[in-house]
Amino acid sequence: MKITNVTLVGVGGQGILLASDVLARAAAEAGLSVKKSEIHGMSQRGGSVSSQVRFGGEVLSAIIPEGETDLLVAFDVVEALRALPLVAPTGRALVDRKYVVPVTVSSGMQPAPADPEEALERLYAGRLSRVDSAALADAVGNPRTANMAIAGALSALLTLPEAAWDAALRGRLPEKLLAPNLKAFALGREAVLRS
């Protein structure tokens, strides 16, 4: 069975690690072999965070070799551009519409990327799905559910059964936070399925 490689990238505080936990649990609920890795970096200061999830047949390593990510999930535009070398030539990208000004730009260490939206379209031509997690979280009434809106959008791009996703969400989220996160997940899934 083919191994699917998913890389999630963004900055600290966006809920990337929770989203990757849900993905890994969903794959395990589907009866697949799963491995997950995380890089926190300077996450508490708005620095880059990434998590890799591999699932399918027998997965021996949690690390995805550069250029072999099947699906990149970027929680903001700049991180999607930065992660391009990780993506396989046939790989897809799911990118949130959020633009987070990197610390290196806000501190004056680097210039802001020129027209990042155009660069995204060009670099991921025909292999790009977009989601507006902030709008979906606003529809739920809780901005902290944006990461589950992205997880829902991700679920629409993978073949894992819906029941596995539901079990993963219920197994990972505390009861008091379950209802709004389930709603955000459903809205994210629906947004990609409609596009």
Does the structure show a pLDDT above 70 at 175? yes
The β-bridge partners of 10 are: 49
Residues 6+ apart with CB under 8 A from 43: 11, 12, 13, 49
- As a whole number, mean pLDDT of residues 97-122 equals 80
**pLDDT number for residue 42:** 54
Q: Which residues of 128-166 are buried (b: 16+ CB within 10 A; e: fewer)?
A: bbbbbbeebbeebebeebbbbbbbbbbbbbbebeeebbe
Alpha helical stretches, state H, the chain: 16-29, 77-82, 103-106, 116-123, 133-140, 146-155, 162-172, 175-194
Average pLDDT over residues 159-188: 97
d(C-alpha 184, C-alpha 93), whole Å: 20
**How confident is the model over 74-91, as pLDDT tens digits?**
999 988 998 999 999 999
- Top mean pLDDT of 10-14, 46-50, 120-124, 156-160 is at 156-160
Quick: pLDDT tens for 132-141: 999 999 999 9
Model confidence at 46: pLDDT above 80: no
**Pick from 174, 173, 151: nearest CA to 23:** 151
Instruction: Say what percent of the chain tops pLDDT 70.
Output: 95
Query: Domains in the chain, ordered, with CATH?
Result: 4-194 (3.40.920.10)
Q: Tell whether the model's pLDDT for residue 131 goes beyond 80.
A: yes
Mean pLDDT of the chain: 92
12/61: higher pLDDT: 61
Q: What is the average per-residue pLDDT within 12-39?
A: 95
Per-residue pLDDT for 44 more than 60? Answer: no
